[in-house]
Amino acid sequence: MSTPSRSSPLALTVLALLHFQPLHPYGIQRLIKQWGKDQVVNVGQRASLYRTIDRLLTSGLVTVRETGRDQQYPERTVYELTDEGRSTMRVWLGEMLSAPRQEFPQFPAALSFVLMLAPEEALDVLEQRAAAVAEALEAHDKSLAEQREIHGLPRVTMLEGEYLRAMTAAELDWIRAVTDDLRSGRLSWSLEELIGFAESTGQQALSGQTPSRPDLGPQ
C-alpha cells in the first residue's frame, strides 16, 4: 500500500511538470528555471528535489519509466506521473488555491520585536528594506513587460508573477507609510513607555518579576 505524501509547492511543481511529459530530475530542475518557477519554488538545493521525488515515488504518485545512459551524462532515471499522482495534483492545486495557509515568513516575525530597537534604528533598517523592495518591484515590472511584449505569453501563464508584483507593491507602500510615520515622529516609543505599559496591563512574567529591559539603543 502506498504511503500518503504531504503537499508542498515543490511536490506540486514536480507533479505538474510530469503531467506534461516524463522527465529525469535534471530535466525537472531545468524546466523550473526556464519557466521562471524558481521565483515561487525553492530549488536552490538539488537534494531537496531528489528527496521530494523519492517521497512521491514511495507514495505511488510517480513511477520510474526508464533508466538510461548516454555519452554526455551519467545514468539517469526518468519518472512519469501515475493516475493517482494526476488526481492528487488536482486535489493539491484546489487546496492551495482555495485555502489560505499560515506560512510564518521572517519579516512579520522580526516586526513583532521591532520595539527592541530604538525608533531611529528601526527607521534605518526599514529604509534599507524599502530600497531592496523597490528594486524587486522594478524587476517584477521588467519581467512582466518582457513576458507580455517580447514573448507574447498568455496572461494565465503569468498570474504568479502578477501576484508577486502586487504583493511587493503592497509591501513597499506599507513600509514607506511606516517610515514616514517614524520620520515625522507620529510613530515612536521609548523604554520607559513600554515598561510602563507592560506593568499597567499586567503583561509581566508569570513570576511577577519586572520584564527584562530590551536594548533600545542610545537613550
pLDDT per position as a tens digit, 140-154: 999 999 989 888 889
Domain-wise residue ranges, the chain: 9-98, 106-201
Rounded Cα gap, residues 113 and 147, in angstroms: 39
pLDDT per position as a tens digit, 41-98: 988 888 999 999 999 999 999 999 998 766 566 678 999 999 999 999 999 999 999 9
Beta carbons of 3 and 59 less than 8 angstroms apart: yes
pLDDT the model gives residue 200: 83
* Fold type of domain 9-98: Arc Repressor Mutant, subunit A (1.10.10)
pLDDT band at 214 (very low <50, low <70, confident <90, very high): low
pLDDT band at 2 (very low <50, low <70, confident <90, very high): low
pLDDT the model gives residue 144: 94
Whether the predicted pLDDT of 194 surpasses 90: no
- Burial of 115: CB neighbours in 10 Å, binned 0-12, 13-18, 19+: middle
What's the rounded mean pLDDT across residues 111-124?
A: 97
Grid cell of 74 as nine digits: 551519467
pLDDT band at 216 (very low <50, low <70, confident <90, very high): low
Chain-centroid distance of CA 173 in Å reads 20
pLDDT the model gives residue 201: 80
Q: Outline where 21-118 has alpha helix (H).
A: 25-34, 46-58, 83-98, 106-111
Grid cell of 13 as nine digits: 511543481
Rounded Cα gap, residues 123 and 135, in angstroms: 18
pLDDT band at 165 (very low <50, low <70, confident <90, very high): very high
Scanning the structure block, which residue is given the C-alpha cell 486535489? 91
Identify the bridge partners of residue 166 per DSSP, sorted by sequence position: none
